[in-house]
């Protein structure tokens, strides 16, 4: 297979991924009051909240902290500084821009859709709109970005696989924690994941384009 065909093949895969994630997001966003989505939400909420206990509440409060704005801002700042320190300047800029703009994008989506939070008994109190989940979207972008950095900087396969699996594990359970704590519908979580996946994919493609251009200018 020639280089041009490989490039076209990769482009089609990426385009397909972005299209799939975007389609998934708008399937939910188009009408989250739809009977099927409401039924999906109620089944998942009941299944998760049937296991509410002091032990799991303590665990979920810790898990949800890993997707909070404060935590992500702190870790993003540390990551950017370390990348600059080790002279990975383009990666540092990519991390800073992708994550900060991703947060603004989530705020914009919440403002557009204005979905109220669940009317069930919440374990914690949250302000603002519900769709898409900021914790889910933000954690997908942040931990997905960290996994991408591992793929770029480490040659060992075990490190790449471990980073990817850890990112998936964290993002998934952060989403579960938001349902458990009663502050999001499951459809909010799925909406956050799909929007975060689309944003992360677009950000990575943008990084690759800039990296190729930088190398040509050197």
Q: What is the pLDDT of residues 135-191, one digit of tens each?
A: 999 999 999 999 998 888 887 788 788 888 999 999 999 999 999 998 999 999 999
Tally Cβ neighbours within 10 Å of residue 61.
Answer: 14
DSSP secondary structure letter of residue 32: T
Residues 18 and 202 sit within 8 Å (Cβ to Cβ): yes
- pLDDT above 80 for 68: yes
Average pLDDT over residues 198-208: 90
Average the pLDDT over 195-202 and give the result: 93
Q: Residue 206: which of 121, 53, 70, 102 has the closest Cα?
A: 102
Nearest to 140 by CA among 114, 93, 178: 178
Mean pLDDT of the region 95-120: 90
pLDDT over 70 at 8, yes or no = no
Q: Where are any strands of DSSP class E within the chain?
A: none
pLDDT digits (tens, 9 = 90+) for 16-61: 888 888 888 888 887 777 778 888 888 898 888 888 889 999 999 9
Nearest to 24 by CA among 140, 104, 103: 140
Residue 196 clears pLDDT 80, i.e. is over it? yes
3-state helix, strand, coil split of the chain in percent (to 5) is 80, 0, 20
pLDDT at 2 (0 to 100): 64
Residue 1 in this model has a pLDDT that exceeds 60: no
Token digits of residue 181: 């704590």
What pLDDT does residue 73 have? 93
Residue 3 pLDDT grade (very low, low, confident, very high; cuts 50, 70, 90): low
Between 5 and 45, the higher pLDDT residue:
45
pTM of the predicted protein model:
0.89
Mean pLDDT of the chain: 87
């Amino acid at each position: 297979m020639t280089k041009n065909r490989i490039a076209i093949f990769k482009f089609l895969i990426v385009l397909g991924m972005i299209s799939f994630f975007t389609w998934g997001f708008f399937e939910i966003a188009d009408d989250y009051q739809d009977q099927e989505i409401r039924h999906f939400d109620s089944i998942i909420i009941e299944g998760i909240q049937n296991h509410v206990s002091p032990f799991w509440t303590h665990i979920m409060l810790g898990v949800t902290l890993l997707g909070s704005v404060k935590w992500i801002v702190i870790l993003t700042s540390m990551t950017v500084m370390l990348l600059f320190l080790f002279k990975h300047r383009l990666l540092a800029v990519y991390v800073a821009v992708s994550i900060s703009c991703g947060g603004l994008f989530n705020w914009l989506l919440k403002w557009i859709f204005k979905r109220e939070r669940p009317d069930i008994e919440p374990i914690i109190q949250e302000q603002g709109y519900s769709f898409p989940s900021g914790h889910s979207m933000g954690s997908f972008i942040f931990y997905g970005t960290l996994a991408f950095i591992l793929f770029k900087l480490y040659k060992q396969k075990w490190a790449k696989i471990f980073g990817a699996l850890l990112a998936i594990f964290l993002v998934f359970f952060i989403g579960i924690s938001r349902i458990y704590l009663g502050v999001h519908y499951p459809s909010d979580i799925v909406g956050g994941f799909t929007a975060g996946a689309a944003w992360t994919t677009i950000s990575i493609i943008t990084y690759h384009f800039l990296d190729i251009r930088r190398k040509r200018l050197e």
